[in-house]
Amino acid sequence: MTGHIPLVDLAAQHAAVADEVAEGWAQVLAKTAFVGGPQVAAFEAEYAAFAGVANCVGVGNGTDALELALRALGVGPGDECVVPANTFIATAEAVARTGATTVLVDCDVDTMLINVDAAAAAVTDRTRVVIPVDLYGQVAPIPELRAVLPERVAILEDAAQSQGATRHGQTAGSFGDVAATSFYPGKNLGAYGDAGAVTTGNAELAERVRLLGAHGSPRKYEHPVLGFNSRLDTLQAVVLSAKLRRLADWNAARRAAADRYTALLADVDGVTTPVVADGNVPVWHLYVVRVADRDTVLGKLHAEGIGAGIHYPTPLHLTGAFADLGLGAGAFPNSELVAGEILSLPLFPEITEAQQQRVVSVLADAVRA
Ligand SMILES: *Cc1c(COP(=O)(O)O)cnc(C)c1O
C-alpha cells in the first residue's frame, strides 16, 4: 500500500455533519443573527453536560479561554502562574497577556504530564494559579496537584486537547477551579474556524468570564469593568453542536486506533509507545511515540508520504518568546529530552487498519536503518 497518510484528516468528519451544519447555518443566515442567540446558549448547555460541569461560556478561541479564566481568577501584574515547559505556547501566552509572570516547570519523563513535585516546589508567595495541561488527550495529575498545593493557589485545567477524556471516571474540563478548552479545527471537537470555551462548577467565576469576554458589559453600554471582545460565533456553535453529538463515537474510534498502534508497535524495537497514567482514559488527541534520532526518522516517514509531526519541537524556555525568562538549555531536562525524541503518528477517528499497518511498517524500517 502506498499513498499519503495525513496526520489529521478532517474531511470525513465534515461529511458526517455536512447536512446538519447546512441546515443550521441556513437558519442563522435567514435571521442574520451572527453573534449570540439560541444556538450559542444551546451549545454551552450541551458542552457543560458533556464535561460534567454546571457552567460553560463559549469564547473566541482556546487562548482567550485561558486568559479569561486567569483574569476571572484575578490574575494580573505581579502574580506568578506555573506552567509546564512542554506545552503548546498558548498556555504560557495567556499568562503573559494578563501581565503575570510565567513560571515554567518540568514534566514527568514517562507520561510527559506536569511533574507534581516540580509544580509544588515552584510555588512562592506570589503564585496565584497552576495550569496543568491535559497533554495529547490524557488528564494531568490534577487531584494529586490539589493535594500538595496551598489552598490559596487556584488550578486552571488546560483541557484544549482532552475533550471527553476521563481520570478515575471524572471528565476533562471539570478538574480544578476552572478549565479552558479550544475548538480549533484540529482538536478532538473542532469548529470551522477559531472557537473555545471556559468550563467551571463555579457560577460566579463563569459570570465573570462572560462579563470580561463581552467588553466588561452586563448590559448594553454599561462597562463596570474593563474587558475585551471574545465570543463564540453563532455559526461555530451550530458546527460544534452537530459534532458534539458524535464526539463520544469519534473518541472511541481514536481509542481503538491508539490500541491498534500500541499492539502493532509492541514488537518494534526502538519505538517507545505512549504511557497512560493510572486511572486515565485518554482521547488520543495525538498518539506520540518516542524514538532515537527522531529527525532522521521523521524525514524517512515524510519521504514515504506519512504525515507525522512533532508536538512540540521546542520547550517554551528555549523559544524566543520566553527568552526573557533567562532559562537556558538544561533548565528542564525531561522536557528537553522528550522534545528531541517525540513523534506524533497520524491519528484520526476514520484512520484505517491498513493505513496504520503502513505507518508502522515504514516506522519500523526507519528506526532499524
Ligand atoms: C490548541 C491549544 C491551545 C489554544 O487554543 P487556540 O484555540 O488555538 O487558541 C491551548 N493549549 C493547548 C494545550 C492547545 O493544544
Closest CA to 88 of 189, 187, 228: 187
**Dihedral in degrees, nearest 10, Cα atoms 239, 241, 242, 246:** 130
How far is the C-alpha of 179 from the C-alpha of 175, rounded, in Å? 7
pLDDT digits (tens, 9 = 90+) for 220-278: 999 999 999 999 999 999 999 999 999 999 999 999 999 999 999 999 999 999 999 99
Answer whether 346's CB lies under 8 Å from 308's CB. Answer: yes
List the domains of the chain with CATH numbers: 10-242 (3.40.640.10), 247-368 (3.90.1150.10)
* Ligand 1 probe mutation, 138, 161, 311, most atoms within 8 A of CB: 161
Which residues 6+ apart lie within 8 Å of 353 measured at CB?
260
Rg (CA), the chain: 21
Task: Work out the percent of the chain whose per-residue pLDDT is above 70.
Answer: 99
How far is the C-alpha of 80 from the C-alpha of 75, rounded, in Å? 8
Residue 338 predicted with pLDDT over 70: yes
Helix (H) or strand (E) holding 44: helix 38-51
Residue 363 predicted with pLDDT over 80: yes
Residue nearest to atom 7 of ligand 1 (CA): 62
Residue nearest to atom 2 of ligand 1 (CA): 160
* Ligand 1 probe mutation, 66, 83, 91, 316, most atoms within 8 A of CB: 91
Which residues 6+ apart lie within 8 Å of 162 measured at CB?
134, 137, 138, 139, 172, 173, 181, 188, 282, 283, 285
Ligand 1 center–CA 66 separation, angstroms: 9
CA-to-CA separations, 170 to 139, 154, 280, 343, in angstroms, rounded: 9, 19, 9, 28
Kindly state the average pLDDT of the residues 99-105.
Answer: 98
Within 10 Å of residue 31's Cβ, how many Cβ atoms?
12
Residue at grid coordinates 518540568: 106
Report helix, strand or coil for 163.
Answer: coil
pTM of model > 0.95: yes
Kindly state the average pLDDT of the residues 173-192.
Answer: 98
Angle between helices 62-72 and 90-98 (to 10 degrees): 40
Q: What are the residues facing 343 on neighbouring strands?
A: 289
Give the three cell numbers for residue 204. Answer: 460566579
- Where does the pLDDT of residue 3 fall: very low under 50, low under 70, confident under 90, or very high at 90 and above? confident
pLDDT for the residue numbered 261 = 98
pLDDT for the residue numbered 369 = 78
pLDDT digits (tens, 9 = 90+) for 191-226: 999 999 999 999 999 999 999 999 999 999 999 999
Active site residues: 187
Give the three cell numbers for residue 24. Answer: 443550521
Report helix, strand or coil for 219.
Answer: coil
**Dihedral in degrees, nearest 10, Cα atoms 261, 262, 267, 272:** 110
How far is the C-alpha of 127 from the C-alpha of 196, rounded, in Å? 26
Residue 305 predicted with pLDDT over 60: yes
- Kindly give the pairing relationship between strand 101-105 and strand 80-84: parallel
Q: Does residue 136 have its Cβ closer than 6 Å to ligand 1? A: no
Q: Does residue 236 have its Cβ closer than 6 Å to ligand 1? A: no
